[in-house]
Amino acid sequence: MRVLVVEDDPDLRRSLAATLREENYAVDIAADGGDGLDKAKQNAYDIILLDVMLPELSGWEILQQLRPANTTPVLMLTARDAVHDRVKGLNQGADDYLTKPFDIEELLARIRALIRRAAGQTLPVLTIRDLSIDTASRKVLLKGEDIPVTAREYALVEYLALHQGEVVSRTTLYEHLFDEDDSTLSNLLDVHVSNLRKKLGPEVITTRRGHGYCIE
Amino acid sequence: MTSPFQSIRWRLQVWHGLLLLLVVAGFCAPGYQIALENQLQRIDKDVSQMERRLFRSLMESAKGSLYPGTPETRDGDRPMISLGQLLEYLREKPAALSADVAALFQGHDPGYAYFSIRNSHDEVLLTSPNAPEDLTFLPPAKSEHLEDTRTIDRRREIRRSSPSGFRIVVGRDISQDLDAAKRFAWIQAATCLGLWVLGLGGGWWLSGRAIRPIQTISKTATRIAEGNLKDRIDITDTDSELGQLSKVLNNTFDRLHDAFERQRQFTADASHELRTPITILLSETQRVLKRDRTPEEYRETLQTCNHTGQRMRHLVEALLMLARQETTQGLNGHAETCDLAGVLEDTRVHLAPLAADRGITLHTDLHSAPCQGDPGALSVLAANLVNNAIQHHQGASGTVRLSSGMRSTGEPYFAIQDDGPGIPTEHLPHIFERFYRADKARTSAAGHTGLGLAIAKAIVDNHGGEISVQSTPGQGSTFEVTLKNDRSV
Taking phi first (over 0 means left), then psi (-120 to 50 degrees means alpha), and beta for anything else, what does residue B144 get?
beta
CATH code at position A129: 1.10.10.10
> Distance of alpha carbon A97 from its chain centroid, rounded?
16
Residue B78 has pLDDT above 60, yes or no: no
Do A96 and A138 share a domain, yes or no?
Answer: no
pLDDT of residue B278: 92
pLDDT of residue B252: 87
pLDDT of residue B98: 79
pLDDT of residue B445: 43
- CB spacing of B283 vs A105 below 8 angstroms: no
- CB spacing of B440 vs A54 below 8 angstroms: yes
- Contact between A80 and A52 under an 8 Å Cβ cutoff? The reply is yes
Do A110 and A129 share a domain, yes or no?
Answer: no
Last-in-domain residue among B273, B300, B327: B327
* Strand-pair partners of B371: B338
A103 touches chain B (CB under 8 A): yes
Last-in-domain residue among B134, B152, B179: B179
Q: What is the mean pLDDT of residues A108-123?
A: 88
Torsional sign, CA B19, B24, B25, B27: positive
Residue A208 has pLDDT above 50, yes or no: yes
Percent of all residues in chain A with a pLDDT value above 90, rounded to a whole number: 20
B448: exposed, middle or buried (Cβ count in 10 Å: 0-12, 13-18, 19+): buried
Q: What is the mean pLDDT of residues B412-430?
A: 87
Do A22 and A101 share a domain, yes or no?
Answer: yes
- CB spacing of A79 vs B275 below 8 angstroms: yes
CB atoms < 10 A from the CB of B168, how many? 23
Residue B1 has pLDDT above 50, yes or no: no
Instruction: Using CA coordinates, name the residue in chain B closest to A58.
Output: B440
Confidence band, pLDDT 50/70/90 cuts, at residue B79: low
B2-30, pLDDT tens digit by residue?
Answer: 566 677 888 888 898 999 999 988 888 88
Last-in-domain residue among A96, A118, A140: A118
* Domain span at B466: 332-488
- CB spacing of A12 vs B268 below 8 angstroms: no
B205: exposed, middle or buried (Cβ count in 10 Å: 0-12, 13-18, 19+): exposed
Cis ω for the linkage preceding A101 (within 30 of 0): yes
B308 touches chain A (CB under 8 A): yes
Do A7 and A102 share a domain, yes or no?
Answer: yes
User: Which of A55, A80, A99 lies closest to B440 in CB terms?
Assistant: A55
B371-415, pLDDT tens digit by residue?
Answer: 888 888 899 999 999 988 888 877 778 899 999 999 888 889 999
Range B438-444, long-range pairs (CB < 8 A, 24+ positions): B439/A55, B440/A53, B440/A54, B440/A55, B440/A56, B440/A58, B441/A8, B441/A32, B441/A55, B442/A8, B442/A9, B442/A53, B442/A55, B442/B276, B443/B391, B444/A9, B444/B273, B444/B276, B444/B311
What is the strand order of the sheet A26-30 is part of? A26-30, A2-6, A47-51, A74-78, A96-99
pLDDT of residue B272: 75
User: Which of A15, A32, A99 lies closest to B280 in CB terms?
Assistant: A15
**Phi and psi dihedrals of A125, rounded to 5?**
-105, 120
Last-in-domain residue among B327, B356, B381: B327
Do A36 and A102 share a domain, yes or no?
Answer: yes
Give how many domains chain A has, as a whole number: 2
Of B452, B453, B458, the residue nearest B432 (C-alpha): B453
Confidence band, pLDDT 50/70/90 cuts, at residue A184: low
B272 touches chain A (CB under 8 A): yes
Do B312 and B345 share a domain, yes or no?
Answer: no
pLDDT of residue B480: 92
pTM exceeds 0.90 for this model: no
A75 touches chain B (CB under 8 A): no
Do B353 and B404 share a domain, yes or no?
Answer: yes
Residue A6 has pLDDT above 90, yes or no: yes
CATH code at position A99: 3.40.50.2300
Q: Which amino acid is at B330?
A: G
Put simply, the chain B residues between 425 and 484 with a CB less than 8 A from any chain A CB are 439-442, 444-445
Q: Which amino acid is at A109?
A: A
SS3 label, residue B114? strand
CATH code at position B294: 1.10.287.130
Do A15 and A88 share a domain, yes or no?
Answer: yes
Chain B residues inside the 8 Å CB shell of A100: 275-276, 278-279
Last-in-domain residue among A63, A97, A118: A118
Chain A residues inside the 8 Å CB shell of B439: 55
Least trusted range by pLDDT, from A36-45, A142-151, B229-238, B449-458: B229-238
Q: What is the mean pLDDT of residues B95-119?
A: 83
**Phi and psi dihedrals of B212, rounded to 5?**
-55, -45
What is the strand order of the sheet A145-147 is part of? A125-128, A131-134, A139-142, A145-147
Do A18 and A111 share a domain, yes or no?
Answer: yes
A119-162, pLDDT tens digit by residue?
Answer: 888 888 888 888 888 888 888 888 888 888 888 888 888 888 88
Range B240-246, long-range pairs (CB < 8 A, 24+ positions): B240/B213, B242/B213, B242/B214, B242/B217, B243/B213, B245/B217, B246/B213, B246/B217
Q: What is the mean pLDDT of residues B437-448?
A: 54
User: Which of A9, A15, A80 lies closest to B442 in CB terms?
Assistant: A9
A80 touches chain B (CB under 8 A): yes
Residue B107 has pLDDT above 60, yes or no: yes
Cis ω for the linkage preceding B277 (within 30 of 0): no
Residue A107 has pLDDT above 90, yes or no: yes
Do B337 and B317 share a domain, yes or no?
Answer: no
B297 touches chain A (CB under 8 A): no
* Domain span at A93: 2-118
A84 touches chain B (CB under 8 A): no
- Contact between A95 and A74 under an 8 Å Cβ cutoff? The reply is yes
Do A97 and A150 share a domain, yes or no?
Answer: no
Higher pLDDT, B240 or B390: B390
Confidence band, pLDDT 50/70/90 cuts, at residue A38: very high
- CB spacing of A103 vs B282 below 8 angstroms: yes
Confidence band, pLDDT 50/70/90 cuts, at residue B330: low
Do A106 and A19 share a domain, yes or no?
Answer: yes
State the average pLDDT for chain A.
Answer: 86
Residue B70 has pLDDT above 60, yes or no: no
Q: How far apart are CA B282 and CA A107, in angstroms?
A: 12
Give how many domains chain B has, as a whole number: 3
B252-309, pLDDT tens digit by residue?
Answer: 888 888 778 767 767 777 777 888 899 999 999 999 998 899 999 999 999 999 999 9
B307 touches chain A (CB under 8 A): yes
Percent of all residues in chain B with a pLDDT value above 70, rounded to a whole number: 90
Of A6, A20, A110, the residue nearest A66 (C-alpha): A6
Do B247 and B152 share a domain, yes or no?
Answer: no
Torsional sign, CA B123, B125, B131, B136: negative
Q: How far apart are CA B391 and CA B358, in angstroms?
A: 9
Do A98 and A142 share a domain, yes or no?
Answer: no
Torsion of CA B413, B416, B419, B421, to 10 degrees: -110
Chain B residues inside the 8 Å CB shell of A79: 271-273, 275-276
Q: Which amino acid is at B349?
A: V
Chain B residues inside the 8 Å CB shell of A8: 441-442
Chain A residues inside the 8 Å CB shell of B310: none
Do B16 and B151 share a domain, yes or no?
Answer: yes
